Structure 1
Amino acid sequence: MSGPDPAAGQTATAKKSSGTRAWARKSTLVLLIAVLALAVFGTTTQTWMTVTLDPNQVGQAGAAQTALEVQGSKAATAVTALALVALAGGLAAAIAGRIARWIITAIIVLAAAGIVAAAATVLANPLAAAQGAIAAATGITGSQAHVAVTAFPVLAVVAGCLLALAALLIIPAGRHWKTRTKYDAPAAGSAAPPAGPVDEIDSWDRLSRGDDPT
């Protein structure tokens, strides 16, 4: 009676791995989260608002700067930090265990919610978001100005929503991810038993590995 065929077991394992859906693969999901987090971060380096100052209100202090370009990092300072938090969380999910993945998922979802809220606040009241840049340029707070919003805050909102959805996929996808432990390497790297006669030294070697040569 022949024993189980190792090649057949490896083939079944390979088929099981190849049967994992594309969205559930660790590399795909981690890359998606990283790309979305970097996309949010990239929007903050661009101009979110163009502020046209009223020379009659700002006087000589702002006469030389009647138009200001406000970057996302200044209009919504929290977005930059939250994007980096989401990026770090996505990379950490690749090596985290089952319980840690739940915690990381919650962190990324909260970071994405903060990104959406901060960007939506800029869209809802761009003049208030531009007051810091106006005060820094003119030294006057509470000035009235015409504010033109670019497409980048909208892109930040969209990327933040997609980031939250991608983070929620970690939980169902994590069931298909292999968890590496310190016991995996010896098990995978253990040598096959010798095919020839087993002498006393070979028996002791096999006993040290936990095999019974008898």
Structure 2
Amino acid sequence: MLRRARMLGVLTFLLTGGIGIISSTQVWATVQRADAGETLTVTGAVLFPLLAPLSLAVLAMGAALSIAGPVLRHILAVLGVGAAVALILGTVPLVGSAPLAAVAPAVTEVTGLGGEESVGEVVAGVTSTPWPVITLLCWVVLGVASVFVLVTARRWPAGGRRYRSTAESAHHGSGPLDSVDSWDELSHGTDPTDSAR
């Protein structure tokens, strides 16, 4: 069960981070222009500039979580909660109809007009696509997964033998020690001649 908990935590971080990166390249809003009768598409990265960097950070946390020790797991879980909160707070205002201030950079790039009043005169309306809602749901899942990791990470099984060095495996092995093993024991700070062994 705990092995599945690790896998579930890692996969959730990777999946939500990946969806966040994908969503940053997708159209989050369409702007109807009053001056030209055209529509302008605005991507998630333009509406929410921190979307791609934070999503990439979540993806990296998922990769690190797959090999992290107990202390680092808790640190990554706390960072995951923080990232989820920041992403939720950044995404919520963009659900429904993005504010004029969010689409202003895209309008300015196309029209050359600056300032909220000038941009407001050429914008007839802003319509959101489903992407902000999809992304918001991902951040809620990320928050829940981060809390789950925080609660269960201490009881996750340790990494397998493949993560141990040869010397460490020999150190924990059983049976009599030869001269090479004795040197390995000394390098670990253990006296191989100790009678307690």
- Is the TM-score greater than 0.5? yes
What code does the residue aligned with 1:84 have?
Answer: L
Instruction: List alignment gaps of at least 5 residues for structure 2.
Output: 186-191
Distance 2:43 2:151 in 1: 37
Instruction: List alignment gaps of at least 5 residues for structure 1.
Output: 1-19, 56-62, 194-201
Q: What is the aligned residue count?
A: 176
Q: Greater Rg, structure 1 or structure 2? A: 1
TM-score by length of 2: 0.76
Which region of structure 1 is more displaced relative to structure 2, 174-183 or 97-106?
174-183
- The correspondence of residues 29-178 of structure 1 with structure 2, limited to 5 A, is 29-55=9-35, 63=36, 66-123=38-95, 126=98, 127-141=100-114, 142=116, 143-144=119-120, 145=123, 146-174=125-153, 175-178=155-158
Residue of structure 2 equivalent to 1:15: none
State the superposition RMSD in angstroms. Answer: 2.8
Distance 2:42 2:66 in 1: 36
Identify if the C-alpha distance between structure 1 residues 191 and 131 changes in structure 2 by more than 3 Å, giving closer, same or farther.
Answer: same
What code does the residue aligned with 2:61 have?
Answer: G
Secondary structure of 2:95's partner? helix
Q: Deviations over 1:16-73 (max 9, x none)?
A: xxxx25641x233212210111112211111000001111xxxxxxx4x821100001
Determine if contact 1:76/1:118 at 8 Å carries over to the other structure. Answer: yes
Residue of structure 2 equivalent to 1:185: 169
Distance 1:45 1:186 in 2: 50
Determine if contact 1:82/1:112 at 8 Å carries over to the other structure. Answer: no
Secondary structure of 1:49's partner? strand
TM-score by length of 1: 0.71
Identity of aligned residues (%): 23
Determine if contact 1:90/1:108 at 8 Å carries over to the other structure. Answer: no
